[in-house]
Amino acid sequence: MLTGMNTDVRHLVAVAVITCDLGVLIGQRRDQQPPWSFPGGKVLSGEDPAVAAVRETHEETGLAVVAHGELGRRVHLATRCDIVYIACTPRGGAAAFGVAPDGRELSTVRWMRWEELNVIMPDVSAPIRDFIADRLLARLP
């Protein structure tokens, strides 16, 4: 039996924070863990987190996005996964309307306005919340 090995192997998860004139894209998770989340998933071995965020978004929602950079990182309190948040926008204007849940992980996908997001996802970390507020509230007339 091997001893002294670190068994606390954490997975890296890339999450796409996708904003546009319609709001921020979130999905309702089928497993409800958590009930609502940004599109994302595990980063494959050797994969860049931004590439993973783009890939996972397309797999989960059908939406093609452009990654613009890392917003921040944290360790998820419940899962102990390392999460990296990637700022994204839809690729092409019409593409933003063509979102649909994959049916495996997400049961619903929708664009959420700032006011709704605060009710549905009140536990979004402060730096991510600030980024979304800057993006969405700056678009108001």
pLDDT tens readout for residues 113-135: 999 998 998 888 899 999 999 99
| 57 within a domain of the structure (yes/no) | yes
pLDDT band at 79 (very low <50, low <70, confident <90, very high): confident
pTM of the model: 0.85
For residue 39, give the nearest of 22, 76, 64 by alpha carbon: 64
Which residues contact residue 52 at a Cβ distance below 8 angstroms, ignoring those fewer than 6 apart?
Answer: 14, 40, 41, 42, 43, 44
| 113 within a domain of the structure (yes/no) | yes
| 7 within a domain of the structure (yes/no) | no
* Total tally of structural domains belonging to the chain: 1
What residues make up the domain containing 33?
Answer: 12-137
What is the arithmetic mean of pLDDT over 86-90?
A: 95
| 35 within a domain of the structure (yes/no) | yes
The CATH code of the domain that includes 56 is: 3.90.79.10
| 50 within a domain of the structure (yes/no) | yes
| 121 within a domain of the structure (yes/no) | yes
| 55 within a domain of the structure (yes/no) | yes
